[in-house]
Structure 1
Amino acid sequence: MMRTSLPSATVLRRGLLAVAAVTAALALPACGGDHSATPGADGMDHTPASAPAAAPASAGTFNDADVSFAQSMIPHHQQAVQMAVMADGRAADSEVRTLAGKIRQAQQPEIDTMTGWLTAWGRPAPSMSMDAGMHHGSMPGMMSDADMATLTDATGTAFDKHFLTMMISHHEGAVEMAQRELADGASTDAKTLAQKIITDQQAEITTMRTILARL
C-alpha cells in the first residue's frame, strides 16, 4: 500500500507567509493616497474641490471716482471734438486748423477707451445728446448752448479767437477733472489716462495762448 507523505511544518509555514505577503500587497493601494479623500458616512467622496485660480487683481480694480471720471470725461471730450469739427470751413488761421485736427485725433480714441472701461465695469456710458445739457453746470470748462451757438455763427479770425478762448477754458476744466482722478481713483489705466490728459492738454493750452496773443 502506498503512503501519502504529509507536508513538513517548514513547507506549511512558507506557504502561509506567501499568502500573507500577497494579501498585504493587495491592501496597500487602499491604504495609500490622500487621506482627505476618505468617503463620508453616505459613501460619497467629500474631498474639497480645488480653489479656482484668482483673476488678476487689476482686472476689477476700480472705484466710484474712476466711474465718475469716465462718465464725465466722455461728454467733455465729445464737446471738444464737436468744437474742433467746427474749425473746418470756419477757421482762418492754419495753426488753429492744425490744432483742431490734433484735438479730434487725440480725444476720440480716448472716448472709445473710456466707453470700453464703463462696459467692462458694468456701468452706463453717457451720450452727448442726452447728457451734455445736464453737465454744463457740473463739469468744469464745459461750454453752454449759447457758447456753442456763438462759435457756430463765427467765421474767420472771429472764429479763431472764440475757438481758442473757449478751448483754453475747456482744456483747463479737463485738467482739473484729471487731477481729481489722480487723487481719488483706483484704476491704474484710468489714472494713466488722466495723467496723459494733463500733460497733453496743458501743452495745448500753452500753444493756444501763444496763437491767441498774435491774432
Structure 2
Amino acid sequence: MKNNKFNPKWVAMLCGASLFFTACSRNSGETEVASDMEKTEDHSEHNMEAGKSNEMMDLMHENMSAMQKVKMTGNPDVDFANLMATHHEGAIKMAQEEESSGSDTMLVNMAKKSPPKQKEEQDKLRDFVQNNQSATGDTAATMKMTQPMKSMMAEMNHNMAGTTDHHFASLMSMHHQSGIDMVKVYLPQAKTPEIKDMAQKIMDEQQNEKRKLDAWLKEHRQ
C-alpha cells in the first residue's frame, strides 16, 4: 500500500520558499511605494519652487497685460502718462510682495520706500490724462513707447529659481529697465514741460534703483 504521508523535509522546504517569495514581494512593493513617495516629494518641492516664482511673475504678467490694454491717443504726453501710471502699478505691487515675503534688509527697505513716491507720481500722471482726454496725434509714433515692454516680456525667465528676494531683484531690475527705455522713447516726442520733467526724474530714480538691484544680484549669485 502506497504511503501518502508528506515528507517533513519537503514540507519545511516548501514553507521556507513560500516565506522567501512573500518577503521579496513585500520588499518590492515597499520599494515601489518609497520610490513613488520620493517622486511625489520631488514634484511637490518643484511645485513649491514654481509657486514662489509664479507669485512675483504673475504680478509682472498682470502689469504687462494692463499696459497692453492702455488706449493710445497719439498724443505723446498723454500716452506716456497713461503708460507710466500703469507701469508704476506693477512696481508698487511687486514692492508690496517683497515687503511682506522678502527677507533681505536692503531689498525690503527699498520695497517699503518706493510705493509712496510712485503713488504720488501715479496720481499726477493720471490727473494729467484725465484733464487732457481730447488730445490726439500720431499713434504710430507713440506706439513705439510700448516696445520696451514687449522686449522685456520676451526676455523674462519663466522658470526662475531662488528666493523671493532673488525674484524681486531680478524682475524689478527688468521692470525698471523697461520704464527707462520707455522714457528714452518718449523724451524726443515730449511737448508738455511738466510731464517731460517728471519723465526725466522717473528715469533717474529707476536707473539709481536698478544699479542697486543689479549690484545685489551680483553679490548673491545663485
TM-score in terms of structure 2 length: 0.54
Question: Match for residue 106 of structure 2?
Answer: 95
Deviation at 1:118, TM superposition (A): 0.9
Which segments of 5 or more consecutive residues in structure 2 lack a partner in the other structure? Answer: 1-73, 136-145
Closer/same/farther in 2, CA of residues 212 and 199 from structure 1, 3 Å limit: same
Q: 1:66 to 1:114 in 2, by over 3 A?
A: same
Q: Residue 211 of structure 1: CA displacement?
A: 1.4
- What residue number does 2:115 align with? 104
Q: Give the TM-score taking structure 1 as reference length.
A: 0.56
**Number of the residue aligned with 2:212:** 207
**Partner of 1:92: helix, strand, or coil?**
coil
Larger Rg belongs to: 1
Q: Residue 148 of structure 2: which of 131, 140, 143 is its match?
A: 140
Contact 1:88 1:97 in 2 (8 A): yes
| Aligned partners of 1:70 and 1:114 also within 8 Å | yes
Larger fraction in helix: 2
Runs of 4+ deviating beyond 4 Å: 141-144
Give the percent of matched residue pairs that are identical in Structure 1 and Structure 2.
Answer: 27
Aligned residues: 136
Residues 139 and 72 of structure 1: is their aligned pair in 2 closer, same or farther, counting only changes over 3 Å?
farther
Measured in 1, the distance between the counterparts of 2:164 and 2:101 equals 7
Question: Alpha-carbon deviation of 1:88?
Answer: 2.5
User: Which SS does the other structure have where 1:177 is aligned?
Assistant: helix
1:116 aligns with 2:121: no
2:190 is matched with which residue? 185
1:150 offset after TM fit, Å? 8.2
Give the conservation status (yes or no) of the 8 Å contact 1:140–1:173. Answer: yes
Distance 1:116 1:86, change over 3 A: same
SS of the aligned residue for 2:100 comes to coil
Tell me, what secondary structure is at the counterpart of 2:179? helix
Structure 2 equivalent of residue 160 of structure 1: 165
Structure 2 residue identity aligned to 1:169: M
User: Which whole-Å CA distance do the structure 2 matches of 1:77 and 1:139 have between them?
Assistant: 17
Partner of 2:80: 69
1:98-126, CA deviations, whole angstroms, 9 ceiling, x for partnerless residues?
A: 111122122111110001101111259xx
Paired letter, 2:107: V
What is the distance in 1 between the residues matched to 2:214 and 2:131? Answer: 38
Q: Which residue of 2 aligns with 1:51?
A: none
Q: CA deviation at 1:212?
A: 1.5
